[in-house]
Each structure stands twice: as structure tokens, then as C-alpha cells.
Structure 1
């Protein structure tokens, strides 16, 4: 027996619904669910762009990227600070070699 095409979409909607409920009722999963939803939005945006729905695909993709960045700001900012410190030391080291 052959499965219909809407079966995969229905399963995806069920899984997303369960993940959202887990995120609402258990604080442990809420951060992970937010990151997962942002990644899903990025994937759906990319899928939309590839299938000819460029405008809506780009909108969903940009919203997903912004959402993911807001969820991971606690990682991005310290990495940026470390990068700036390393860059500053390398500039100082190069200035010392010139004299």
C-alpha cells in the first residue's frame, strides 16, 4: 500500500505540536525548542526558495536566522569579545615588531 504525500506533512505537524507543548510545559525544553523552531524556519525558508517561492522563502529564512541569532546571543557575544581581544593583541604585536 502506498502512503499519501500529505502523510509526511501531517507527521511533521504532529511532531512540531508535541515539541511546542513540551516547550510550554517543561522549562528544560523551552530553550531547545526555541532553537529547534528557528532551525526549522531556516530549513523551510531554504526549501521555499529552492521550490520557486522566493519571496516567502526569504522572509521565513530571515526571520529564522534572526530568531536563531537572538537565541544564541549568549554564545555569539563572548566569542566576538574573544575575537576582538585576540585581534587587539595581534595588532599590538605587529606594532612592536615595526620599531
Structure 2
């Protein structure tokens, strides 16, 4: 069987779908997959929304992108908080080092 890009994507989708089903039926596939699946669904929503935009389905495309983006934003809130904290520290240090600020 000759592998091409479409078959590889199909196999990957079947694999992730099977893991999601196993997890829903109580077969624990590990903490790592649970973490990956939590990111996979909103990322898939954004990707399908983009495909909707490309194929002329603007309304459903934007709805999927907005909902998927909001879910991803919630998942990234911890990293965003860390980035803001580091930014405040760097900004505070630069204020202390400068002679006259503002």
C-alpha cells in the first residue's frame, strides 16, 4: 500500500478517534493523551472553521474559529498569566535601571 499525505492524515485521525472512544468507555490511555485530547478538539474546531472559510461557508467557519479560539484561550490562560508576570518583572527592572522614567 503506497502511503501518501491523505492516507497518513486518515490513519492519524482514526488513531486519535479510537483513543478518544477508548477513553470515553473507561479504558484509560494515560494522562498524556487526556492532555493532548484537551488541546486537539479546540484546535480541530479552529482548523475546520478555517476550511469552512476557504470553501465559502463564512458563517459556520467564523463560528467554529471563534468557539475554538475561546476554548484555546482558556487553555492557554496559565501560560498567558506566566508571560504577563515575566513581562511585569522585566518592565519593573527596566524602570529601576533607568534614571528618569516617564
TM-score exceeds 0.5:
yes
More helix per residue:
1
Could you say if the C-alpha distance between residues 35 and 55 of structure 1 is closer, same or farther in structure 2, counting changes exceeding 3 Å?
same
Two-structure CA RMSD over aligned residues (Å): 2.8
Unaligned runs of 5+ in 1: 1-6
Q: For the Cα contact (< 8 Å) 1:22–1:30, is it kept in 2? A: no
Q: Number of residues paired by the alignment? A: 91
TM-score normalized by the length of structure 2: 0.68
Q: Deviations over 1:15-73 (max 9, x none)?
A: 45324225443351111101011111111111111111111100100111111121222
Structure 1: which 4+ aligned runs deviate by more than 6 Å? 10-13
Q: For the Cα contact (< 8 Å) 2:52–2:58, is it kept in 1? A: yes
TM-score normalized by the length of structure 1: 0.70
CA distance in 1, matches of 2:85, 2:22: 34
